[in-house]
């Protein structure tokens, strides 16, 4: 019989007295609270206006450095203190249970409901059904966790990126548990990964960047379509071929970000697709402008003459129509959104007779053309807004046609 079956049998046959178990657990909790609680627990005086038990806990937000905690009974007060200190019975101290406590904490320190959504999916996919996640965390050693982590990577054939996503959650749970003083040491901090991650073959340039004269075809079609319908999505595509912005940054550009005299662009914000949790627990999806970029850093991008020409074109139209707008690219009375640009690019590729590529591929094309022209990789990294050059290298492909590449190889000898 499993432990769960044994427990069920014992309860059904009166071998376990739940009242006695509850009493023992409560006494143990009281002992733990009194062991670490340094303030006096005071019963209410007989003539008290507020007949409740009370004590203090430390609170750095208060001028006195502490705040009152009250309970109708001593037991109720003890339970409140246990919650404050994170004291729990050891049987509930499992990774699965602590994940449920850690997630609300994580939500309180991040602005992104998307992050919480990803954490939830990763935990359910990789961890929730692991036997180790239902074991008492106090009994687990670094070797236990190390073996589990390596097996998790191997059995699920994870890439390095996939593991990093899962590792953030597991590490967060252990750190949260340790900082709440529920465990004396953090064995997770010492694990080492020795298995190999699944390697991802780099995709062919034809699928990732606009090759050769495909750029010229795209430019010609974008100008043609813009001149025919005045859809500024096509101007935004043209502009981004020379700037390499994230599409969310592109549609969030404002005129205040442009320095026409010194020929540079300041990238300060981006549009993001977010999940927002309402008070009733439901989720809604919407596009919003965040006053920061993906990396929470602003950057400067030089404006080459072709990019300046596009901005001057837009300025001229705004002035002729006496239109005032904070945003550079508009659709009707609103600024463009990322869907507008994506749809326009899809139609432009179709009309130009070239393979359809996402707006992100324009960014990769920008990086690849700079690299093929000899621009240093670190400068490309800065222009793209990357913090790590390894990320930038993942954007670099050969933008030249095969015959031109072959000619260069032959000429090298």
Distance of alpha carbon 299 from the chain centroid: 20
Which residue's structure tokens are 């837009």? 314
**Integer angstrom CA distances of residue 176 from 32, 100, 106, 112, 125:** 19, 11, 10, 19, 21
φ, ψ of residue 360 in degrees (nearest 5): -65, -25
- Which two three-digit tokens encode residue 395? 């954007």
For the range 321-330, what are the long-range contacts, defined as Cβ-Cβ under 8 Å and sequence gap of 24 or more? Answer: 325/255, 326/254, 326/255, 326/256, 327/251, 327/252, 327/253, 327/254, 327/255, 328/253, 328/254, 328/255, 328/257, 328/258, 329/232, 329/233, 329/235, 329/236, 329/239, 329/250, 329/251, 329/253, 330/232
Kindly state the helix (H) or strand (E) to which residue 276 belongs, with its residue range.
strand 270-277
Encode the chain (413 residues) as per-residue pLDDT tens digits: 555 565 556 556 666 565 565 566 567 777 778 788 889 998 988 888 888 989 998 888 888 889 999 988 888 888 888 877 766 655 678 999 999 999 999 988 887 778 898 999 999 999 999 999 999 999 999 999 999 999 999 999 999 999 999 999 999 999 999 998 888 899 999 999 999 999 888 889 999 999 999 999 999 999 999 999 999 999 999 999 999 999 999 999 999 999 999 999 999 999 988 777 777 777 788 888 999 998 889 999 999 999 999 999 999 888 887 778 899 999 888 889 999 999 999 999 999 999 999 999 999 999 999 999 999 999 999 999 999 999 999 999 999 988 888 998 898 88
Q: Quote the CA–CA distance of 116 and 107 in Å, as a whole number.
A: 7
Give the chain's domains with CATH numbers: 3-87 (no CATH), 91-190 (1.10.150.130), 205-411 (1.10.443.10)
Which residue's structure tokens are 């790590």? 388
Residue count of the chain, please give it.
Answer: 413
> Would the pTM count as exceeding 0.75?
no
Q: Which ranges in 196-304 belong to alpha helices (H)? A: 205-208, 214-229, 232-241, 247-251
Burial classification of residue 166, based on how many CB atoms lie within 10 Å of its CB (0-12 exposed, 13-18 middle, 19 or more buried): buried
Q: Quote the CA–CA distance of 137 and 132 in Å, as a whole number.
A: 9
């Amino acid at each position: 019989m499993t432990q769960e079956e044994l427990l069920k049998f014992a309860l059904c046959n009166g071998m376990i007295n739940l009242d006695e178990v509850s009493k023992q657990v409560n006494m143990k909790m009281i002992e733990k609270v009194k062991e670490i609680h340094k303030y006096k627990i005071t019963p209410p005086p007989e003539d008290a206006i507020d007949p409740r038990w009370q004590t203090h806990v430390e609170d750095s937000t208060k001028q006195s450095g502490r705040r009152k905690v009250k309970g109708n009974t001593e037991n109720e007060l003890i339970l409140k203190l246990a919650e404050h200190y994170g004291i729990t019975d050891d049987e509930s101290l499992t990774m699965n249970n602590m994940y449920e406590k850690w997630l609300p904490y994580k939500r309180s320190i991040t602005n992104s409901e998307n992050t919480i959504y990803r954490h939830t999916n990763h935990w359910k996919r990789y961890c929730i059904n692991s036997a180790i996640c239902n074991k008492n965390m106090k009994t687990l050693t670094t070797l236990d966790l190390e073996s589990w982590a390596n097996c998790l990577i191997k059995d699920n054939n994870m890439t390095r990126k996939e593991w990093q996503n899962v590792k953030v959650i597991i590490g967060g749970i252990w750190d949260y548990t340790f900082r709440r003083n529920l465990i004396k040491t953090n064995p997770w901090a010492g694990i080492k990964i020795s298995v190999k991650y699944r390697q991802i073959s780099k995709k062919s340039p034809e699928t990732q960047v606009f090759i050769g004269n495909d750029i010229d075809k795209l430019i010609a079609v974008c100008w043609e379509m813009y001149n025919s319908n005045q859809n500024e999505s096509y101007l935004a595509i043209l502009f981004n071929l020379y700037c390499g912005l994230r599409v969310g940054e592109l549609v969030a550009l404002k005129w205040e970000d442009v320095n026409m005299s010194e020929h540079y662009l300041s990238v300060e914000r981006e549009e993001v697709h977010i999940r927002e949790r309402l008070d009733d627990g439901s989720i809604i999806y919407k596009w919003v402008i965040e006053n920061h970029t993906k990396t929470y850093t602003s950057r400067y991008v030089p404006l080459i003459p072709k990019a300046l020409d596009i901005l001057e074109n837009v300025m001229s139209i705004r002035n002729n129509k006496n239109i005032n707008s904070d945003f550079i690219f508009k659709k009707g009375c609103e600024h463009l959104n990322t869907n507008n640009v994506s749809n326009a690019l899809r139609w432009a590729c179709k009309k130009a007779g070239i393979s359809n590529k996402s707006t992100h591929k324009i960014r990769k094309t920008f990086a690849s053309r700079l690299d093929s022209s000899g621009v240093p990789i670190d400068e490309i990294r800065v222009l793209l807004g990357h913090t790590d050059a390894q990320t930038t290298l993942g954007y670099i492909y050969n933008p030249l046609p095969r015959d031109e590449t072959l000619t260069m190889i032959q000429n090298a000898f």
